[in-house]
Amino acid sequence: MYKRLSAVMFPICALALIGAIVWGYQENQEKNTILIKAENQYQRAFHDLSYHMEKLNSELGNTMALNATSNDMYRKELINVWRLTSQAQNEISQLPLTLLPFSKTEEFLDNIAKFTYATAVRDLSKQPMSEDEIKTLSTLHERSKEIKDELRTVQSEVISKNLRWMDVEVALASESKKMDNVIVDGFQLVDKKVGEYADVDWGPSMASLNQKRNFSMLSGNDATADEIKSKAEQFLGDGTQVTITESGVGTETNTFSVSGKRTGSGADVYLDYAKKGGKLIYFMSPRDVPNKTLDMRGARDAALEFLDKNGYSGMTAVSADEYANAANLTFAAKQNDVILYPDKVTVKVALDNGEVTGFQGADHLLAHKERQLPAAKLTEEQAKKQLNPKVAVASHEMALILNDLNEEVLCHQFTGSMNGTEYNIYINADTGFEEKIEAIPQAAKQAGV
């Protein structure tokens, strides 16, 4: 009996053992393949970063040789610098540096990108490069050379010693405070040097781009937790009991977070209020929307009713899209028949019953004010001449928008169609410059935007 049993079990066990060995081998091969692929991606990103930093330094050097009146060449070189900086930023994001302090270098590159873009897009014939801006370019050239040289040193070490980026992940993830890794040490040295640089005079073109808005800028007194609780319960209006948590105490983003469950449906609700002034920033009551019975125009009407009820009257729909049986609609304030795009709110409406399940009002809070709107220098007909003659214009309005430099500019907004697509086209009411063009999505047309 035992002989018969062993005769049966032995080949089964042998096959199982062989199968386990084959499976383990395949798993190990797949793991190695993934590791090799990741290592190759890291190596490519690192060597591309070193190359683009060298090219960036070279392009900044080229600007030093330009004649101060060569506006077209300045624009070309600045655009090249902006493109190379963007590529370098992208390559940094592909490296496993999340646990490594490298913020100073990333911020430095980001400021170079903003500075060169802001300078390149302006009309250099009317506002040419200033002496201070040329000095700034010279400073950036010197500092980019130091970064380039340090990265070249690290690159030489990587190549000569056949170093692996996968070891960087291990070193960064290690709980040991002492990390002995050439790549890590090299990047830390780069960031330390950048952090020791004296402040760069970025000039007026960067002022609007670096302007930071926060809720501490709001008017009014600081709200208390009890006041916020009362406001939230009044806003929800169905007897929902909520809890209040204060976050960001002592910072510029000091807010109250509110959470609870809807009475009846049991759906979760989340709200954020600014402590300064106690105004609503954000509301969300997420739920599945199983079917669609409401069209986009009906969703727009439901959103407008919600806005009127909660003190946001007089706003006009400017954008809309649809996803997962829910409509997301953006509304902007108006002043003297001018649409104020910086002063906007977003409302999410469930298309099964028209319930508002989301609201975002941060832009309205930070941008809402009475403005001294300038008179348009160009008439509608004069601005219309700047359009592509093939665009069939359907309507016209005046609008205040943010341009590429984050500045508010008054524009003629033309809505028209070409090649089967509808567009909003914004012509600067002062200069006739075509500031922006946006395709209008189908959902927005259905909502009557």
Residue-wise pLDDT for 278-290, tens only, equals 999 999 998 889 8
pLDDT at 449 (0 to 100): 77
pLDDT at 393 (0 to 100): 94
Ranked by mean pLDDT, the top range of 26-35, 105-114, 203-212, 298-307 is 298-307
Using the structure block, give the residue that is written with the tokens 């960036």: 56
Give residue-wise pLDDT tens across range 220-265. Answer: 788 899 999 999 988 988 778 889 998 877 776 788 899 988 877 7
CA distance 270 to 285: 6
pLDDT at 177 (0 to 100): 46
Q: Which residues pair with 335 in a beta bridge?
A: 338
For 380-446, CATH number out of 2.120.10, 2.60.40, 3.10.450, 2.30.29 equals 3.10.450
Interior angle at CA 425, CA 421 and CA 430, nearest 5: 170
pLDDT at 379 (0 to 100): 95
Mean pLDDT, the chain, rounded, equals 83
When pLDDT is cut at 50, 70 and 90, the band that residue 68 belongs to is confident
Give residue-wise pLDDT tens across range 146-157. Answer: 888 888 888 888
The phi, psi pair for 18, rounded to 5°, reads: -60, -40
Residues of each domain in the chain carrying CATH 3.10.450:
380-446
CA distance 181 to 179: 6
Angstrom distances, CA of residue 139 to CA of 188, 356, 396? 22, 52, 46
**Helices 2-64 + 71-93 axis angle, to 10:** 160
Q: Which residues pair with 438 in a beta bridge?
A: 424
pLDDT at 321 (0 to 100): 93
Q: What Rg, from alpha-carbon coordinates, does the chain have?
A: 29
Give residue-wise pLDDT tens across range 348-381. Answer: 999 999 999 999 999 999 888 899 999 999 999 9
pLDDT at 47 (0 to 100): 86
Lowest-confidence segment of 77-86, 214-223, 391-400 by average pLDDT: 214-223
Q: 366 exposed, middle or buried (CB, 10 Å; 0-12, 13-18, 19+)? A: middle
As a three-state string, the secondary structure of 349-399 is EECCCCCEEEEECHHHHHHCCCCCCCCCCCCHHHHHCCCCCCCEEEEEEEE
The phi, psi pair for 320, rounded to 5°, reads: -160, 145
Lowest-confidence segment of 43-57, 327-341, 352-366 by average pLDDT: 43-57
